[in-house]
Chain A
Amino acid sequence: MTCGQVRERLSEHALGLLSEGEASAIERHLEWCGGCRKEFGELQEGLAALAMGLPPASPPASLEARVVARVTTAAGRRPATVSPRRRGRAVAGMALAAVLTAVLAVGWAVAEHRRAGNAEARMVGFETQLKSLQALVDQFGGRQAPLRPRAGAAAGSGFAVLIHLEDQPDMAIVEVLLPNESEMPYTVRLRDDQGQTRLSFQLEPTNNGTLALLYRTDRDLRHVVRVQVLDGADVEVLSGDVQPLASPR
């Protein structure tokens, strides 16, 4: 492989998108070519910075002990202290696992539609998913809101679901289908009856051609009554109202 051929493929290699054969041909070249190696390192630095800049998720406290145990055992040493710290609160139980599995399974079914690759199929898939999610909401007693475009705005649709389970963190699931995704990033704001923002987060592209996020939070979402989706310029594109909770928990 010439340097020219390698450089043509370096971006895809840095993104991990090449086949095994192509990747190892590039790796062989990088072993001896300092120039290409330097360029490859710079591409990797840029991507690693993106990864390090993701909004941080919270691994369970016990993960550290498991990592330490795996590595020390592999290195032939036993960990000096085995102290899996237990979080005070209960972590996801069966009900929650069921919710997640169901939501994700619905998404996978819809993924079939993506292969059709056209807007109509996406809409069909989206509506199928919406129906499944409604069934799920009925089962778990969540609150839902269809999200509609504001008057005069471009078309689009979406839904939001808020789930409150005993002894579980509250969850918000928002998924939208927008004709024009160029105004990224889209932000969701959950507002309470006083108009205060209880939670805001950014939607991510899914493999269904929609934007979505499932967010679990220690924050109390029981007072949320309005869901807004704002575009990159902070203009509201979709919104909807959720029924207030019938009675406090």
Chain B
Amino acid sequence: METGVSFHPEGPLSPDSEQQLVRQMVAGDEEAIRALYARFGRPVYTLGLRLLGSREAAEELTQDVFLTAWRKGSRYDPARGRLSTWLMTIAHNMAIDRLRHDHGTGRPAIVLLDDLTEPSLTDQEDQLADRETARRALAWLSPTERLLLARAYFHGWTAREIAETDGIPLGTVKTRLRTALIKLRKFEADHARVVARTADGVLE
């Protein structure tokens, strides 16, 4: 990947190094900002593109997410979750806010994806591993639950909008969302254990 930095966006970071990286970013350390961008720039941009539907909006969102991360960085606590979760939550919240704000102009009807640059092999392997994890996590869900999550998480539909569109009671939508997230959480917990075991194996 063309990042021009000595950090490589590979392998999990320990909670300590994640916090260290955030601290350096808060201090304005350029190398740390580049390292964070190398790891999370593409996923943040991808999520922005998925939710907002235009490259310009996704680029603007990415810049704002990193700026917000810098602003909130001193409050980042690794005990409360991984850095990826923290950053992707910031990104998702900001994108949903923009969707809500721009509600009058409508949301994109077509999702835009492209593959203009070929990522490096390691990069691809990393992302394939991530995608495989996400695919397996989604396989835990029923088709109805997958569609529900896609609408809520990637399209920002509220429970009420889903209920009205599908003609089902609001309470049912809320229950189904909750069930889907609990399934996802269980998968995540099991997956985290597997990763932790693998990491331990490597350390030994």
A interface residue numbers (CB < 8 A to B): 8, 10-12, 14-17, 37, 41-61, 63-64, 66-68, 70-72, 74-77, 79-81, 83, 85, 87, 92, 100, 103-104, 106-108, 110-111, 114, 117, 129, 169, 173, 175, 181-184, 201, 204-210, 212-219, 232
A-B contact sample (18 more), CB < 8 A, given A207-B107, A218-B117 = A8-B174, A8-B178, A16-B96, A42-B189, A44-B81, A46-B184, A49-B134, A51-B92, A52-B88, A53-B133, A54-B131, A63-B59, A75-B28, A111-B107, A117-B164, A205-B150, A206-B108, A213-B113
Give chain A residues whose Cβ lies under 8 Å from the Cβ of B118. Answer: 218
Chain A residues with Cβ below 8 Å from B25 are 71
Is the CB–CB distance between A111 and B106 below 8 Å?
yes
Q: Closest CB of chain B to A129's CB: distance in Å? A: 8
Q: How many positions in chain B have a CB within 8 Å of any CB in the partner chain?
A: 97
Please indicate the chain B residues that have their CB under 8 angstroms from the CB of A51 in the complex: 43, 46-47, 88, 91-92, 153
Interface centre among A16, A37, A43, A51 (most CB of B within 10 A): A51
- B2 & A61 in contact (Cβ 8 Å cutoff): yes
A242 to B113, CA, bound (A): 22
Contact digits for B29-59, partner A, Cβ 8 Å, 1 yes 0 no: 0100110010001110111011001110011
Shortest distance from the beta carbon of B47 to any chain A beta carbon, whole Å: 5
Secondary structure of the B contact surface, majority rule:
helix
A104 touches B110 (CB 8 A): yes
CB closest chain-B residue, reference A185: B146
Pairwise interchain contact A44-B85, C-beta atoms closer than 8 A: yes
B6 in the interface (beta carbon within 8 A): no
